[in-house]
């Protein structure tokens, strides 16, 4: 940002100015991949890998920063994973490639990814990531350098994804159907293009040993994380996609009788018009939009659950920041007619605030809670989705309250965290009574244990005393017997002497 932009921001949005200033001053870069000490894991000392890092910056400004801060060889591995899937996605999205050429390209992309020297120059000139495929040989070279475990995962996910993409593009090219008809079909498409990414990332995290071995088997949670991000992008990019004749919204949602739309393009026909008819059309477009956002929100609690099981801080940041950006974007889009007119994004200051706050599962839960409350506050009772929107928001509130109760607060002082209960909350009274009862019960059990120990000790002492008495009696009997034997023996000796 230039000096003038900073001044304008200070005058128009002083709170955002403060957030951005705090971000630039206090946010520290966790890792410098260019540093010499990082070369063994980042690969920056190789020209081919440097070019791959450049492609990452060119194709994903949002993901590039968090990828670079991942620990060890995870950064390089996921950079290459992203570029492989970006190359595949570029071929799928390119409407200038005929289906008879696109099909074999897509279905063999996992093989091209490990074929030395392979490149593709047939993308349309308007494709923004065309250059990645033109120089794809550098990606191939670096993928072949990866640890075999990582390489196997990347190729396997690429193979699964390319098959799904090829099936959908072939259907659109041969049947004349340009729409996804049902929500189930929409879910399957999003699984191929994003849910599989979540699966691959989880498997890579597990293989790196920076996360639990079982994380790679959490397919449902991994899929939900990917679907939340993908569906948010599909909602936000409505206008851009429609103008490029990419129709991802399922007809089951926007074609409902309550909305009355025959074509996806009809949802912005109110643009530049006024009057009752235009207002009615805009309102119905908002209902369709809320239906899409409702569908995306059903993945939110799974995404939060996924974040709770992560242990490595760099991995957590990598997953949490896009998730909080997604919920903030859904908040921005909800009941916002501008979404139908242009591509809207959260402001830089908001993004900076989310990056700084997305540090642990509790903070992420609070961010989700904040944005769903804003969504619920703007929900319109006339919307056919109103009740279901309220329930979806309530589920996120419930998840947050279950895992991080609002009446329990953590206060940090002197480097130590202390739990403080909200005295105005009835649950605090119940918890204190329960803790008091448990403490009394524990004390009573300790006293019972002490009494039992003392009683056992007394019993043992008495038993030992009885044994001593018995031993004395036995000794007396033995002594008397010996005396009798000795007396008899003496008498016999005297008799023998007398008659000898």
The answer to whether 109 and 168 have CB atoms below 8 angstroms apart is no
> Of the candidates 156, 157, 82, 96, which has an alpha carbon nearest to the alpha carbon of residue 124?
96
pLDDT for 243 beyond 80: yes
Candidate list 189, 268, 316, 368, residue with the active-site label: 189
The answer to whether 194 and 186 have CB atoms below 8 angstroms apart is no
> Of the candidates 80, 360, 392, 351, which has an alpha carbon nearest to the alpha carbon of residue 228?
392
Output the pLDDT for position 9.
Answer: 54
Candidate list 18, 46, 159, 246, residue with the active-site label: 246
Structure tokens at 194: 């994003």
- Residue 420, φ and ψ in degrees, nearest 5: -130, 130
Q: What is the pLDDT of residues 349-371, one digit of tens each?
A: 888 888 888 889 999 999 999 99
pLDDT for 119 beyond 70: yes
Between 12 and 172, whose confidence is greater? 172
- For the residues 19-42, what does the mean pLDDT come to? 73
Q: Catalogue all structural domains in the chain, each as residue range(s) with its CATH number.
A: 1-30 (no CATH), 42-175 (1.10.600.10), 177-427 (1.10.600.10)
Q: What is the pLDDT of residues 7-25, one digit of tens each?
A: 665 556 565 556 555 555 5
Residues 6 or more apart whose CB falls under 8 angstroms from that of 257 comprise none
Cβ-in-10-Å burial (0-12, 13-18, 19+) of 48 comes to middle
Q: What is the pLDDT of residues 61-104, one digit of tens each?
A: 667 888 988 988 999 999 999 999 999 999 998 888 998 999 99
Cα–Cα dist 437/445, whole Å = 12
Predicted confidence band at 496 (pLDDT cuts at 50, 70, 90)?
very low
Output the pLDDT for position 168.
Answer: 87
Q: Which string of b and e fits 432-464 if b means at least 16 CB within 10 Å?
A: eeeeeeeeeeeeeeeeeeeeeeeeeeeeeeeee
Selection from 18-32, 282-296, 403-417 with the highest mean pLDDT: 282-296
**Cα 406-410-415 angle, rounded to 5 deg:** 165
pLDDT for 179 beyond 90: no
pLDDT for 286 beyond 50: yes
Does the active-site annotation cover 189?
A: yes
pLDDT for 3 beyond 70: no
Any alpha helices (H) in 358-425, and if so which ranges? 361-378, 386-403
Cα–Cα dist 298/327, whole Å = 12
Cα–Cα dist 85/136, whole Å = 12
Selection from 114-128, 384-398, 438-452 with the highest mean pLDDT: 384-398
Predicted confidence band at 192 (pLDDT cuts at 50, 70, 90)?
very high
Does the active-site annotation cover 236?
A: yes
Structure tokens at 304: 């939060």
Q: Count how many Cα atoms sit within 13 Å of the Cα of residue 278 in the half-sphere of its side chain.
A: 9
3-state secondary structure of 434: helix
- The owner of tokens 């890092």 is 53
Query: What's the mean pLDDT when you consider all of the chain?
Result: 85
- For the residues 242-254, what does the mean pLDDT come to? 89
DSSP bridge partners of 231: none
Does the active-site annotation cover 109?
A: no
Distances (CA, A) of 203 to 191, 199, 211, 218, 243: 16, 6, 9, 9, 36
Does the active-site annotation cover 308?
A: no
Cα–Cα dist 70/211, whole Å = 13
For the entire predicted model, the pTM comes to 0.81
The answer to whether 161 and 87 have CB atoms below 8 angstroms apart is no
Candidate list 318, 334, 340, 368, residue with the active-site label: 318
């Amino acid at each position: 940002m230039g000096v003038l932009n900073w001044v304008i921001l200070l005058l128009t949005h002083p709170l955002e100015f403060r957030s951005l200033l705090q971000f630039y001053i206090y946010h520290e870069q966790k890792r410098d991949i260019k540093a010499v000490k990082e070369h063994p894991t980042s690969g920056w000392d190789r020209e081919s890998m440097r070019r791959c890092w450049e492609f990452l910056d060119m194709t994903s400004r949002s993901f590039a920063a968090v990828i670079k801060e991942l620990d060890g060889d995870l950064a390089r591995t996921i950079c290459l994973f992203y570029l492989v899937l970006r190359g595949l996605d570029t071929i799928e999205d390119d409407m200038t490639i005929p289906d008879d050429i696109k099909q074999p390209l897509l279905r063999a992309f996992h093989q091209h990814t490990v074929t030395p020297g392979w490149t593709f120059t047939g993308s349309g000139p308007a494709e923004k990531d065309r250059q990645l495929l033109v120089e794809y040989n550098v990606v191939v070279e670096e993928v072949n350098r990866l640890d075999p475990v990582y390489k196997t995962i990347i190729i396997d996910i690429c193979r699964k994804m390319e098959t799904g993409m090829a099936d959908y593009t072939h259907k659109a090219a041969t049947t004349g159907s340009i729409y996804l008809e049902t929500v189930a079909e929409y879910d399957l498409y999003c699984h191929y293009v994003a849910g599989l990414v979540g699966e691959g990332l989880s498997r890579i995290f597990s293989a790196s040993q920076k996360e639990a071995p079982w994380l790679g088997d959490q397919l449902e949670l991994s899929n939900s994380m990917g679907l939340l991000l993908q569906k948010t992008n599909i909602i936000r990019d409505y206008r851009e996609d429609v103008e490029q004749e990419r129709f991802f919204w399922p007809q089951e949602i926007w074609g409902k009788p309550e909305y009355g739309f025959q074509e996806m393009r009809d949802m912005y026909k109110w643009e530049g018009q006024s009057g009752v008819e235009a207002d009615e059309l805009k309102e119905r477009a908002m209902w369709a939009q809320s239906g899409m956002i409702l569908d995306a929100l059903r993945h939110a609690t799974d995404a939060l659950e996924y974040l709770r099981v992560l242990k490595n801080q760099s991995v957590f940041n990598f997953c949490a920041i896009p998730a909080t950006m997604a919920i903030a974007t859904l908040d921005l889009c909800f009941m916002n007619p501008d979404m139908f007119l242009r591509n809207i994004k959260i402001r830089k200051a908001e993004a900076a605030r989310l990056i700084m706050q997305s540090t642990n599962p509790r903070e992420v839960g609070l961010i989700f809670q904040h944005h769903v409350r804003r969504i619920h506050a703007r929900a319109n009772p006339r919307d056919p989705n109103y009740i279901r929107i309220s329930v979806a928001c309530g589920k996120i509130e419930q998840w947050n309250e279950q895992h991080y109760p609002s009446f329990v607060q953590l206060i940090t002082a002197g480097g130590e965290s202390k739990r403080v209960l909200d005295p105005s909350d009835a649950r605090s009274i119940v918890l204190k009574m329960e803790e008091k009862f448990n403490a009394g019960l524990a004390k009573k059990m300790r006293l019972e244990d002490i009494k039992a120990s003392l009683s056992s000790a007394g019993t043992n002492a008495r038993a030992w005393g009885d044994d001593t008495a018995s031993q004395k009696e036995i000794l007396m009997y033995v002594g008397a017997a010996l005396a009798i034997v000795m007396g008899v023996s003496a008498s016999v000796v005297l008799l023998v002497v007398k008659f000898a």
